[in-house]
Chains A and B, each alone.
Chain A
Amino acid sequence: MPTVTYVAHDDSEVTVTGFAGDSVMETAVRNGVPGIVAECGGSLSCATCHVFLCGDSEGVFPPREDLEDDMLDGTAVDREANSRLSCQLRLTDDVAVRVQTPETQV
């Protein structure tokens, strides 16, 4: 089973077991992890599921597509090199992912 560790802005952490095929966003929302809003439910409409991938986790996912890259320009907290929209990050079997959530999403 894949796991995702969400590190909040205040450095508190929560680790959640997810399911292959689910996104990092869905895994957070279903388990009530604060820090990811995801108003549009994953339809690439809102840019409120912004995360920063930590360390090795950057290599786990395929690179950004154009629309995600563009949407990242509209996040509430400015993007950095390791920024992603977590609705686009699909978990695969047995990965262990670590992401940091920004101070605010809206």
Chain B
Amino acid sequence: MANAGTLIIGNCQAGVQLASTLRELGDTDPIVLVGEEPHAPYQRPPLSKAFLKGEASADSLTFRTHEFYRDHDIELVPRERIVSITRDAAGGVAVAESGREFPFARLAITTGAVPRRIPFEGSELEGVSYLRTATDAAVLEQKLRAAQDVVVVGGGFIGLEVAAGARASGKTVTVLEAAPRLVGRAVSEQTSAFYLQAHRRRGTTVVLGAQVARFTGEHDRVTGVQLADGTVIPADVVLIGVGVVPRTELAEQLGLAIDNGVVVDSRALASDGLTVAAGDCANLPNPSVTPGGVDRLRLESVQNAVEQAKVAAATLLGRGSDYQTVPWFWSDQADLKLQIAGLSGGHDEVVLRGDPESEKFSVLYYRAGELIAADCVNSPLDFIAVRGALHHGQTVPPSVATDTSVALKKLVSAAPALAQKVMTP
């Protein structure tokens, strides 16, 4: 049988990186990158930021030129949704909804995630939106242009980015968050409290502990969001941003272990020992350079999509090495640049550096006296310093970290205990 090469399912950031890295590593076998979206792979982060403001077009967000795919012999197949798949150790075949078959010798799953849907009454009304793809963003941009009252359900990054953009263009904006604080999954209480105030200062109404009961509508169009206490908040557009669910249907068909994502090892290898998975769809061992914290997690970030995909590509070629990194994330809301370095889970001490009132500060997280992460608001230098320190197993003593008269990078020092732990296998 002719070498069927590598099939990558999911034409996204991780998929493109996987294909590119295979070529960089010298792989000359066929590579097919298949996905259901109509576009060539593109950057998603700007969709909730510049794109909604009309400052970016779908074309400007594409990762690679068509010439790149041609010159590197990567076959890009858009508009094909893979619905069934079988494989054995020698390879297999994936079948699209259209009936088209994609044989493969090696398989990579980069299927990403889809927005979590909550079956509120009225969810089918025109004007109720989700945001994940460029198509979603184009539709939302149109709806927002004509809207005055905007309600965002979910006070996470996506919701707050969209809320900030809509507010900046003069809309009446309400954010409804079910939890007692904003972005509770990703940042500390201090950072949450800051974002609550910052959005309110800019004129956005934020309701915490909000329980959405249903969406109200007239003539099939949404007109409002009704809360459990009976309050109705008027809405021309509702954006629901309450997290994502990893897409694991194909992995399930292959019998791969699934647990909040496709379970992979530190080399991005799934439980069959053959298939690799990378990006938002993968549940991976905590890759942090810093020891401790949770054992396994999913990482929804550009950085993870890129770096895990590189590891996955090497693994497909039998040259994989353990994935280790300093996870990082960013979110742009209004004129607030948030950068997060490291994973703060399991911290036992928090140090505030700078004054949140000035909208320029960092929250440093410690575990057993060692720096493990930071949320940096309009403080890219702190972010760079922390990311670098974590990479090198260094710390910033909490006692001096508050001194904003000294650049954080000058306060970085070796963390002997930590460095030792990193060296120990």
Q: Which residues from B are CB-within-8-Å of A71?
A: 380-381, 384
Q: Is B246 an interface residue (CB 8 A)?
A: no
Chain A residue at minimal CB-CB distance from B23? A32
Q: Which residues from A are CB-within-8-Å of B23?
A: 32
Contact residue among B62, B72, B303, B306 (Cβ-Cβ distance under 8 Å from A32): B72
| A window 32-73: CB within 8 A of B | 32, 34, 37, 39-41, 43-47, 67, 70-71, 73
* Residue contact B302 to A39, C-beta cutoff 8 Å: yes
* Residue contact B387 to A74, C-beta cutoff 8 Å: yes
Most buried by B among A37, A46, A67: A46
* Residue contact B409 to A43, C-beta cutoff 8 Å: no
In the bound complex, what is the Cα–Cα distance between A30 and B63 (angstroms)? Answer: 5
* Residue contact B388 to A74, C-beta cutoff 8 Å: yes
Q: Which residues from B are CB-within-8-Å of A32?
A: 20, 23, 64, 68, 72
Minimum distance in angstroms from B317 CB to a CB of chain A: 16
In the bound complex, what is the Cα–Cα distance between A34 and B63 (angstroms)? Answer: 13
Minimum distance in angstroms from B25 CB to a CB of chain A: 10
**Known contacts A30-B62, A67-B380; A43/B385 CB under 8 A:** no
In the bound complex, what is the Cα–Cα distance between A20 and B20 (angstroms)? Answer: 25
| B window 46-93: CB within 8 A of A | 46, 62-65, 67-68, 72
Q: Is B345 an interface residue (CB 8 A)?
A: no
In the bound complex, what is the Cα–Cα distance between A49 and B423 (angstroms)? Answer: 29
Number of interface residues of B (CB under 8 A): 32
Q: Is B110 an interface residue (CB 8 A)?
A: no
Once A and B bind, how many residue pairs between them come within 8 Å at the CB atom?
Answer: 61
* Residue contact A106 to B380, C-beta cutoff 8 Å: no
Minimum distance in angstroms from B342 CB to a CB of chain A: 14
* Residue contact A30 to B43, C-beta cutoff 8 Å: no
In the bound complex, what is the Cα–Cα distance between A31 and B380 (angstroms)? Answer: 28
In the bound complex, what is the Cα–Cα distance between A46 and B332 (angstroms)? Answer: 13
* Residue contact B43 to A41, C-beta cutoff 8 Å: yes
In the bound complex, what is the Cα–Cα distance between A56 and B310 (angstroms)? Answer: 34
* Residue contact B64 to A29, C-beta cutoff 8 Å: yes
Contact residue among A34, A45, A70, A73 (Cβ-Cβ distance under 8 Å from B339): A45
**Known contacts A30-B63, A31-B65, A40-B302; A74/B24 CB under 8 A:** no
* Residue contact B332 to A43, C-beta cutoff 8 Å: yes
* Residue contact B68 to A31, C-beta cutoff 8 Å: yes
In the bound complex, what is the Cα–Cα distance between A106 and B391 (angstroms)? Answer: 9
In the bound complex, what is the Cα–Cα distance between A31 and B123 (angstroms)? Answer: 42
In the bound complex, what is the Cα–Cα distance between A43 and B384 (angstroms)? Answer: 14
**Known contacts A34-B24, A67-B380, A70-B380; A43/B330 CB under 8 A:** yes
Number of interface residues of A (CB under 8 A): 21
Q: Is B132 an interface residue (CB 8 A)?
A: no
Q: Which residues from A are CB-within-8-Å of B285?
A: none
Q: Is B5 an interface residue (CB 8 A)?
A: no
Q: Is B337 an interface residue (CB 8 A)?
A: yes
Interface residues of chain A: helix, strand, loop or mixed (majority) = loop
Q: B336-359, CB under 8 A of A: which get 1 and which 0?
A: 010100000000000000000000
Minimum distance in angstroms from B32 CB to a CB of chain A: 17
Contact residue among B45, B64, B325 (Cβ-Cβ distance under 8 Å from A30): B64
In the bound complex, what is the Cα–Cα distance between A71 and B385 (angstroms)? Answer: 9
In the bound complex, what is the Cα–Cα distance between A47 and B387 (angstroms)? Answer: 11
* Residue contact B45 to A41, C-beta cutoff 8 Å: yes
Contact residue among A34, A73, A76 (Cβ-Cβ distance under 8 Å from B381): A73
In the bound complex, what is the Cα–Cα distance between A34 and B64 (angstroms)? Answer: 12
Minimum distance in angstroms from B284 CB to a CB of chain A: 17
Chain B residue at minimal CB-CB distance from A70? B381
Chain A residue at minimal CB-CB distance from B68? A32
Q: Which residues from B are CB-within-8-Å of A73?
A: 381, 384, 409
Minimum distance in angstroms from A48 CB to a CB of chain B: 9
In the bound complex, what is the Cα–Cα distance between A44 and B388 (angstroms)? Answer: 16
Contact residue among A37, A41, A74 (Cβ-Cβ distance under 8 Å from B385): A74
Q: Which residues from B are CB-within-8-Å of A41?
A: 43, 45-46, 302
* Residue contact A30 to B68, C-beta cutoff 8 Å: yes
Contact residue among A34, A37, A39, A74 (Cβ-Cβ distance under 8 Å from B384): A74
Known: A45-B337, A70-B384. 20 other contacts (CB 8 A): A29-B64, A30-B62, A32-B64, A39-B306, A40-B45, A40-B330, A43-B332, A43-B337, A44-B380, A45-B330, A45-B380, A46-B328, A70-B380, A71-B380, A71-B384, A73-B381, A74-B381, A74-B383, A74-B409, A76-B391
What are 30 A-B pairs at a CB distance below 8 A? A29-B63, A30-B62, A31-B65, A31-B67, A32-B23, A32-B68, A34-B24, A37-B306, A39-B302, A39-B303, A40-B45, A40-B330, A41-B45, A41-B302, A43-B332, A43-B337, A45-B337, A45-B339, A46-B303, A46-B328, A46-B330, A47-B384, A67-B380, A70-B384, A71-B380, A73-B384, A73-B409, A74-B381, A74-B387, A106-B325
